[in-house]
């Protein structure tokens, strides 16, 4: 039985081919816009009509068209990032099941843009969490507070029916175990919205050689909390394929999409054993 699909192609084009309400969990780790060349295009944004079937009400009751127009007045770069990410997030909304959850992984350069964008598209009532993944590795600036965290924005399709299972989540040691009972200290505590977790070790078993690879521990926590065995998981900025590897290990089905040939080569090596059995298939989108 096929449990996974890995698709080589432009993610926006591939997403358009997937059926509505397919995935319980979508995790994406898009480019962080760290110095990429900006392409400015002249766009005109207008407030959608009250009876518009395409406008989504969110940030302060405004349609997404008006929110975009307002923010463009303050920062031209917002329009570039909106133009790149917004159509993909609209597809993510369409593809989520009614009990589904989106995890959007970013760094400090883009998290504020994306938060406003998601408030407008999903609605502020669908905002669940801002997770801070903190780590301590690599060079440290002496001219400012060193940036050692990423932000993961969590939005649900339906704020009433979304799935979340904290019982499956790994537990952490108490920072002050002497303040709780021995039984509680032994069991540990549920994570908060601040996650301390090391990056992928350059010499560890997880390392694939892909530069933006994320640790399995981070994805394991997400997959456990926001999906069930047999559910479908989507990552359309798949990179090294960690989302799919974790999903498969936990009994979920998955679809991975990436247009970078280097990512495809890494995933071909990573999933070689299950590709040979037919459990995972590679496709060209």
pLDDT per residue as tens digits for the range 44-64: 333 333 344 445 556 555 566
pLDDT of residue 201: 83
The pTM of this model reads: 0.88
Phi and psi angles of residue 53, each rounded to the nearest 5 degrees, phi first: -95, -5
Is 270's pLDDT higher than 70? yes
51 compared with 281, residue with greater pLDDT: 281
* The pLDDT value given to residue 75: 66
Q: Is residue 145 part of a domain?
A: yes
DSSP string spanning 40-104? -------PPPTT-SS--B-GGG-BHHHHHHHHHTT-HHHHHHHHHHHHHHHHHHHHEEEEEEEEE
174, part of any domain:
yes
Beta bridge partners of 254: 4, 233
Which H helix or E strand runs over 4?
strand 4-8
Domain count, the chain: 1
220: in domain:
yes
Asked whether residue 29 is assigned to any structural domain, the reply reads: yes
Q: Of the given ranges (49-63, 147-161, 212-226, 252-266), which has the lowest mean pLDDT?
A: 49-63
Round to whole Å and give the CA distance between 154 and 190: 17
Residue 42 lies inside a defined structural domain of this protein: no
Note down the domain range covering 149.
4-33+55-284
- More confident call, 41 vs 111: 111
- pLDDT computed for residue 44 by the predictor: 35
Query: Which range among 11-25, 49-63, 156-170, 188-202 shows the weakest confidence by mean pLDDT?
Result: 49-63
Which pair of structure tokens corresponds to residue 169?
């989540």
Place of tokens 């537990």: 171
Residue 204's pLDDT is what? 83
CATH number at residue 220: 3.40.50.150
Provide the mean pLDDT of the chain.
86
Measured between its terminal Cα atoms, the distance across the chain in Å is 21
Task: Lowest mean pLDDT of 59-68, 69-78, 214-223, name the range.
Answer: 59-68
Q: Which of the four pLDDT bands, split at 50, 70 and 90, describes residue 168?
A: very high
Q: What is the pLDDT of residue 37?
A: 43
Please report whether residue 135 resides in a domain: yes
Does residue 47 form part of some domain?
no
In a domain, 88, yes or no: yes
Q: Note the pLDDT of residue 55.
A: 53
Which of these ranges, 10-19, 46-55, 122-131, 163-172, has the smallest mean pLDDT? 46-55
SS3 content of the chain, % helix, strand, coil (to 5): 35, 20, 45
Q: How confident is the model at residue 113 (pLDDT cuts 50, 70, 90)?
A: confident
């Amino acid at each position: 039985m096929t449990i996974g699909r890995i698709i080589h192609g432009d993610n926006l084009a591939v997403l358009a081919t997937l059926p509505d309400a397919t995935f319980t969990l979508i995790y994406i780790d898009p480019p962080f816009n760290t110095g990429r060349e900006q392409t400015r295009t002249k766009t005109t944004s207008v407030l959608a009509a009250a009876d518009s079937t395409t406008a989504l009400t969110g940030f302060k009751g405004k349609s997404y068209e008006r929110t975009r127009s307002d923010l463009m007045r303050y920062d031209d770069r917002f329009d570039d990032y909106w133009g790149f990410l917004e159509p993909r997030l609209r597809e993510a909304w369409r593809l989520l099941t009614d009990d589904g959850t989106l995890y959007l992984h970013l760094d400090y350069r883009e998290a504020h843009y994306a938060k406003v964008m998601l408030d407008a598209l999903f609605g502020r009532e669908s905002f669940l969490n801002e997770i801070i993944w903190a780590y301590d590795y690599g060079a440290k600036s002496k001219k400012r507070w060193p940036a050692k965290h990423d932000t993961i924005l969590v939005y649900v399709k339906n704020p009433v029916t979304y799935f979340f299972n904290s019982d499956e989540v790994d537990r952490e040691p108490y920072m002050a175990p002497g303040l709780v009972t021995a039984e509680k200290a032994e069991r540990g505590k549920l994570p908060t919205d601040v996650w301390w977790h090391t990056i992928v070790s350059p010499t560890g078993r997880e390392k694939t050689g892909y530069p933006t690879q994320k640790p399995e521990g981070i994805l394991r926590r997400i997959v456990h909390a926001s999906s069930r065995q047999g559910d479908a998981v989507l990552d359309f900025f798949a990179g090294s394929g960690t989302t799919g590897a974790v999903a498969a290990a936990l009994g979920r089905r998955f679809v991975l999409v990436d247009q970078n040939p280097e990512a495809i080569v890494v995933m071909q090596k990573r999933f070689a054993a299950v590709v040979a059995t037919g459990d995972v298939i590679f496709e060209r989108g």
